[in-house]
Chain A
């Protein structure tokens, strides 16, 4: 509290310049967002600055793919091709496929891996830590961060400037812990993570599938070691993942191994050495890639015979393996409750989808030609780059409404006034909460009316949902605390939760994607709010004045009833004055009452004035009664608790909650 001037002049508060409320947006520079596909076997970085077409960024040798492998053999970690080459020589000190460990506890690791997992210290969080030699212990987040750093450095070189933020893709099935671990990795790498993006959504965005506004899509992602299938619904420009499926131990590497074994048999090698097997595998991979376009290929490795492989032979070997992707595809369609013929498109992701046999298989499963124009290794990074460009503050043409709340989201409060919880243009996902209170002690429920728009009164906004929170304990006015949380997730789904903090009663409503609105609609609504600003403010002021008067009338009437004629508190003369002021107050609140908020304020102030002495005497008595038997420290604690509450109640700004 400031020091009051002696003569009581209000000199006004002193203000400081604050940081903008949405911290995510403060460092954005249009065109300086990067998109990262942090893959199990390979990672990529792409940019699409200021509306340009996305492009991936290569290393000094022009290679876009960076093996997701980190070597801890040397003093400083080594990332990429050299690390991968060193893997055979020191399998426990070179970390690959670290994505499988992200966000997992030690008990979750049920798959095969060559690493030594450090024992958990007492009371330590259950995070997997890998022992990588010489006493060094690393978390999966740190390993991922090393990969991200290399990609970020690439981007910095290409852009000529430090990227201001990144969009990192994650599998659609990643849970909260895995997503958080990925965000942490970004933070460790010194990146501002604008947001995470589901890999299938990124692929769909790279193809511009969001432009149609509506649709059902499948994304078939066959990578080196994993297979994922996702079914997405696009509604009103927002993608929603309907179902996912796959096989975490099925990929192009299985093709290479099988073809390698076939080649060894052809070469008459029945008990291959480790070296021969590796040579055959590499030859098989090269042959497979050549056969994506050619019909036959000659194969030979050092010390081996000259062989020929036809596409027919290749297909015979890999066909049964590829066929294993069919069941998860059908399962995902079933889970999503859609039929193959309902789909509007199928997107291919992952290098293994270059194989003609796989494309034909996908076509037969989904009964349509899959989209394959974009390099399937790069398509996810492209989508991430497009979203990163938008989040960096560049308004791309035809951009989806995915990333910001186009209109404010709020609640109707007493008097039909709108309290905005999530402001217009807030970057999503976002969560914000605000504590509300009761209006009268008779109130045992609260009607929550969720509205969208820029106007001051709920009637002028778009109504999204209404629900009731019942079971609020009977408490004196302003004593109940109801916390309302608005969560707008990455898919623009709004979840509103109301919770009474004393009893914990809770009620939640989910509002399905809210944006049945075109850009023009949004602009029109904003302009409308400007055109009506003066009138809106007047109406809001009037409504607020009425609410405030109503509150005082209620409180004073309740107090009058309560005290009855208790001696010494209220003399007849004072009572008559209060009763008369109360009648004025009720008249002022009637529909026929004044329409200028100043008049209502005056009525309220008169009522407060005549009842002031009465209120003070009542307060003193209550305090005396309440403090009886309490020690001084208890009294102080009670007051401190009340102050905290008041501070919480008094803040008329939603508090933002840090979320994804």
Chain B
């Protein structure tokens, strides 16, 4: 079992959420770049956002994006030039989020530390604010 994140990294209170941006750790950026290359679209980007709603709340959207950013998107440039697009509507709900990449017994995957969420469901894929 991997070590749980140290508790000192507790999310900052909502009032402290910085400007409209997100943070991509170097490790996450490296994996994103690798996956984009493996997919044959090294120049592509990643779209990060919130979608849906419905009976169980909101969920994250995290996908490859081949097009240019839309006019209203925020483009976050991570280590090594990987670009992450966030649409303005999602930004309100994910600003201040840190995207990290985790490896361990739970498997490999990206992890979102979103200071805006109030609760997560059991699987962590549905969120509420």
Known contacts A7-B4, A15-B112, A530-B88; A28 and B107 CB within 8 A of each other: no
Cα of A3 to Cα of B128 in the assembled complex, Å: 22
Known contacts A652-B53, A652-B55, A653-B51; A27 and B66 CB within 8 A of each other: yes
Contact B62 A17 (CB under 8 A): yes
Select from chain B the residue with minimum beta-carbon distance to A534: B92
Contact A26 B51 (CB under 8 A): no
Known contacts A3-B1, A28-B67, A530-B88; A15 and B60 CB within 8 A of each other: yes
| Binary per-residue interface labels of chain B (46-68) against chain A in the complex, 1 for a CB within 8 Å, 0 otherwise | 11000111111101111111110
Cα of A537 to Cα of B53 in the assembled complex, Å: 10
Known contacts A10-B120, A15-B110; A652 and B105 CB within 8 A of each other: no
Contact B109 A15 (CB under 8 A): yes
| Binary per-residue interface labels of chain B (97-125) against chain A in the complex, 1 for a CB within 8 Å, 0 otherwise | 00000100111111111000010100111
Select from chain B the residue with minimum beta-carbon distance to A4: B122
Interface assignment of A541: CB less than 8 Å from any CB of chain B: yes
B102 surroundings in chain A (CB, below 8 A): 14
Contact A17 B32 (CB under 8 A): yes
Give residues 1-60 of B contacting A (CB, 8 Å): 1, 4-5, 32, 35, 46-47, 51-57, 59-60
Interface assignment of B126: CB less than 8 Å from any CB of chain A: yes
B108 surroundings in chain A (CB, below 8 A): 14
Contact of A540 among B1, B53, B65, B124 (CB under 8 A): B53
Contact A19 B59 (CB under 8 A): no
Contact B89 A541 (CB under 8 A): no
Contact A20 B52 (CB under 8 A): no
Known contacts A13-B125, A652-B126; A2 and B56 CB within 8 A of each other: no
Cα of A6 to Cα of B105 in the assembled complex, Å: 13
| Binary per-residue interface labels of chain A (617-660) against chain B in the complex, 1 for a CB within 8 Å, 0 otherwise | 00000000000000000000000000000000010110000000
Cα of A417 to Cα of B55 in the assembled complex, Å: 9
A608 surroundings in chain B (CB, below 8 A): none
Select from chain B the residue with minimum beta-carbon distance to A544: B57
Cα of A11 to Cα of B124 in the assembled complex, Å: 8
Contact B64 A20 (CB under 8 A): yes
Interface size range on B against A? 35 or more
Interface size range on A against B? 35 or more
Contact of A19 among B54, B63, B89, B118 (CB under 8 A): B63
Known contacts A6-B1, A10-B124; A26 and B64 CB within 8 A of each other: yes
Interface assignment of A18: CB less than 8 Å from any CB of chain B: yes
Contact A18 B111 (CB under 8 A): no
B125 surroundings in chain A (CB, below 8 A): 13, 15
Contact B35 A17 (CB under 8 A): yes
| Chain B contact residues, majority secondary structure | mixed
B72 surroundings in chain A (CB, below 8 A): 530
A2 surroundings in chain B (CB, below 8 A): 106-107, 123-124
Cα of A306 to Cα of B59 in the assembled complex, Å: 81
Contact B107 A12 (CB under 8 A): no
A537 surroundings in chain B (CB, below 8 A): 92-93, 129
Known contacts A533-B92, A537-B129; A15 and B62 CB within 8 A of each other: yes
Cα of A413 to Cα of B65 in the assembled complex, Å: 30
| Chain A contact residues, majority secondary structure | loop
| Binary per-residue interface labels of chain A (321-333) against chain B in the complex, 1 for a CB within 8 Å, 0 otherwise | 0000000000000
Contact B63 A21 (CB under 8 A): yes
Contact B124 A12 (CB under 8 A): yes
A28 surroundings in chain B (CB, below 8 A): 66-67
Select from chain A the residue with minimum beta-carbon distance to B63: A18
Contact B106 A26 (CB under 8 A): no
Known contacts A14-B108, A420-B52, A540-B53; A19 and B4 CB within 8 A of each other: no
Select from chain B the residue with minimum beta-carbon distance to A14: B109
Cα of A653 to Cα of B55 in the assembled complex, Å: 10
Cα of A530 to Cα of B52 in the assembled complex, Å: 15
Give residues 407-436 of A contacting B (CB, 8 Å): 413, 417-420
Cα of A21 to Cα of B63 in the assembled complex, Å: 9
A652 surroundings in chain B (CB, below 8 A): 52-57, 59, 126
Contact B55 A413 (CB under 8 A): yes
A6 surroundings in chain B (CB, below 8 A): 1
Give residues 170-202 of A contacting B (CB, 8 Å): none
Interface assignment of A393: CB less than 8 Å from any CB of chain B: yes
Cα of A5 to Cα of B6 in the assembled complex, Å: 13
Cα of A1 to Cα of B121 in the assembled complex, Å: 12
Cα of A12 to Cα of B110 in the assembled complex, Å: 10
Contact B53 A530 (CB under 8 A): no
Contact A417 B53 (CB under 8 A): yes
Contact B120 A12 (CB under 8 A): yes
Cα of A28 to Cα of B65 in the assembled complex, Å: 11
B128 surroundings in chain A (CB, below 8 A): 541
Cα of A5 to Cα of B126 in the assembled complex, Å: 19
A520 shortest CB reach to chain B, Å: 15
* Chain B CB within 10 Å, residue with most, of A11, A20, A547: A11
B52 surroundings in chain A (CB, below 8 A): 420, 652-653
Closest 8 CB pairs of A and B: A14-B109, A13-B124, A652-B54, A18-B63, A12-B124, A15-B110, A13-B125, A2-B106
A residues in contact (CB < 8 Å) with B: 1-3, 5-7, 9-21, 25-28, 393, 413, 417-420, 456, 529-530, 533-534, 537, 540-541, 544, 547, 598, 650, 652-653
Jot down 12 A-B pairs with beta carbons below 8 A, ordered by A: A2-B106, A11-B124, A14-B102, A15-B112, A20-B63, A20-B66, A21-B63, A417-B54, A530-B72, A530-B89, A537-B93, A652-B57
- Not counting A530-B72, A652-B53, a sample of 12 additional A-B residue pairs whose C-beta atoms are within 8 angstroms of each other reads A14-B110, A15-B62, A17-B110, A20-B63, A20-B66, A420-B53, A529-B89, A530-B89, A533-B88, A533-B89, A537-B93, A652-B56
